[in-house]
Structure 1
C-alpha cells in the first residue's frame, strides 16, 4: 500500500515538474517574443520571430505574429513608396506649372514695357500669351480630374458599349493627323460586334489618349495599330506602334502621376505626364485594367481589358 502511495506521489511530482518546465519554457518564449517585437518595431527591421518550441499553441501564436510583422513591413514599404512618389509628384507639379507661368509673365512684361511694339507684334504676343494660358488651364484641369478620380468623387456610369464602333470612331478621329504624318495604319476589328461594360465618353478619352501617344511617340516606326479581340469573359483593345518604345526599367512607372520619359522635356516629346495616370484610373473604375509591353522599334502595345457582355 505504501509503495502504491509512493508511486502516486512520485507520478504527481513528475507531472508537476513537467508542467513547471513547460510553463517556464512558455514564459521564456513569451519574453523572447515581447523583447524581439519591441526591437523590431523600434528599429524598423525586417526580422521575424524564431519559432523554437514544441508547443503547438505557441507555434501557432508565433506564426501569426510573424504574419502580422510581414504585413506591417509591407504596409510601411508601401507608405514609403507613396511618400517618395508624392514628393516627386509635387516637384513635377511645381515644374510643369512654373514653366507656362514664366512664359506668360515674360510675354506680359514685354507688352507692358515695349512702347514701340507695333500692333502686329502686340497681337502676336497676345496670341502666344493666350496659347500658354490655355495650356496652363488644361494642365490644371487634368490635376483636378485626377484628384477627383483618386478621391472617388467622380462616379462613372457603366453600361453596354459597342467596342467595334468605339474603335472605328476613335481611329477615324485621327485620320487627318495620320495622313499628314504619312503613317501606315493597321486596324484589326472582328466582323461581329463585340460588347463590353464601359462608358462611351470615358472610353473615348482613353482611346484618344492612347492613340495620341502612339502617334506622337511612335511615329518613327512609321506604323500605328489598333486591334480588338475577346474571349468568353474579356474584351481586349490593343493600341500599338513600332517606334522608340519604353525601356524596361521605365515600363512600371509610366502610369505614375506626372512621370515622363527622360526626353519628354524636349519640345518634340513634351507632355504633362498625367494622361496615362488618368487613363489607368478610368479603366480601373470601369472594372478593367491596362498594361504595357514594349520592345523598342519592334512593338510597343498598351492593352485595355474590360468585362465582356455575352448574349
Structure 2
C-alpha cells in the first residue's frame, strides 16, 4: 500500500514538474514573441517570426502573427510607394503649373508695357494667355478629380449604359482632328446593342482619354482603331493605333500618377500625366479593368473590360 502511495506521489510530482517545464517553455516563447513584436512596433522591422515549438496553440498563434506581419509589411510598402508617387506628382504638378503661369505672366507684362502695341499683336498675346490658362485649369481639374477618386469622395451612380452609343459619340467627337491629321479609322461595332452597368459620364471620360492618347502619341501610325466586342460575361473595348508605342519596361508604369512619355513634355504632345490614372480609377469604381499591350509600330492596344449587362 505504501509502495502504491509513493508511486502515485512520484507520478504526481513528475506530472507537476513536466507541467512546470511546459509553462516555463511557453512563458519563454511568449516573451520571445512579445520582444519581437515590440521590435516591429518600435523599429519598424519586418520579417516573419521563427519559433520551434510542439505547442499546438502557440503554433496557431505564430501563424496568425506572421500573417499579420505580412499584411503590415505590405501596408508599409504600399504607403512608401504612395508617398514617393505623391511626392513625384506634386513635383511634376508644381513644374507643370509654374511653366504656363510664368508664360502667362510674361505675356501680361508685355501687354501692360506695350502702349503702342499693334492690335493684332495684342490679340495674339491674349490668345496665348487664354490657351495657357486653359492648360492650367485642365491640369488642376485632373489633379482634384484624381484626389477625389482616391479618397473615395467621388462615388459613381451606376445605370444601364449602351456601349454602342458611347463608342460612336466619342469617336465622332474626334472626327475633325482625325480628318486634319489624315488618319484612317478602323471602327468595328456589333449590330446589336451592348449594355454594361456603368456611369455614362465616367465611360465618356474613359473613351475620351484613350482616344485622345491614341491620336496624340500614335498618329504617326496613320490609323486609329476602336473595337467593341463581348463574350458571355464581359464587354471589351479596344482602342488601338500603330504608332511608336510604349517600351516594354515602361508599360507597367503608364497607369501611375504623373507618368508621361518623354516626348509628352513638348508643347505639341503635352499631357498632364493623370489621364490614364484617372481612367483606371474610374473603371475600378465600375468593376472594370484596363490593360495595355504594345508592340512599337505594329499595334498598341488599351483594352477596357467591363461586366456585361444582359436583359
Offset at residue 25 of structure 1 (A): 1.0
Offset at residue 150 of structure 1 (A): 2.8
Q: Superposition pairs for residues 172-183 of structure 1, below 5 Å?
A: 172-183=172-183
CA distance in 1, matches of 2:9, 2:215: 91
Number of residues of Structure 1 aligned to a counterpart in Structure 2: 311
CA distance in 2, matches of 1:177, 1:252: 29
Unpaired runs of at least 5, structure 2: none
- With the length of structure 1 as denominator, give the TM-score of the two structures: 0.94
CA distance in 1, matches of 2:112, 2:289: 51
CA distance in 2, matches of 1:126, 1:181: 27
**SS of 2:136 mapped into structure 1:** helix
CA deviations on 1:164-198 (whole Å, 9 max, x unpaired) are 22212222222222222222222222222211112
Q: CA RMSD in A?
A: 1.7
CA distance in 2, matches of 1:31, 1:224: 66
Offset at residue 31 of structure 1 (A): 1.6
Partner of 1:96: 96
Partner of 1:215: 215
CA deviations on 1:287-309 (whole Å, 9 max, x unpaired) are 22222222222222111121211
Which is worse superposed, 138-147 or 158-167?
Answer: 138-147
Partner of 1:251: 251
CA distance in 1, matches of 2:265, 2:196: 37
CA deviations on 1:13-56 (whole Å, 9 max, x unpaired) are 11111111111111111121122222233332222211200010
Partner of 1:288: 288
Offset at residue 223 of structure 1 (A): 1.9
CA distance in 2, matches of 1:199, 1:59: 49
CA distance in 2, matches of 1:265, 1:120: 29
Offset at residue 64 of structure 1 (A): 1.1
Unpaired runs of at least 5, structure 1: none
CA distance in 1, matches of 2:258, 2:300: 20
**SS of 2:228 mapped into structure 1:** strand
Contact 1:292-1:300 within 8 A present in 2 as well:
yes
Q: Superposition pairs for residues 103-182 of structure 1, below 5 Å?
A: 103-182=103-182
CA distance in 2, matches of 1:153, 1:56: 46
Which is worse superposed, 86-95 or 172-181?
Answer: 172-181
CA deviations on 1:181-239 (whole Å, 9 max, x unpaired) are 22222222222221111222321221111111111101122222111111222111111
Distance 1:305 1:149, change over 3 A: same
Partner of 2:278: 278
Contact 1:232-1:310 within 8 A present in 2 as well:
no
Moved over 4 A (4+): none
CA distance in 2, matches of 1:43, 1:155: 38
CA deviations on 1:229-286 (whole Å, 9 max, x unpaired) are 1122211111111211122332222222222122221223211112212222222222
Partner of 2:261: 261
Offset at residue 98 of structure 1 (A): 0.7
Contact 1:189-1:229 within 8 A present in 2 as well:
yes
- With the length of structure 2 as denominator, give the TM-score of the two structures: 0.94
Partner of 1:189: 189
Distance 1:154 1:66, change over 3 A: closer
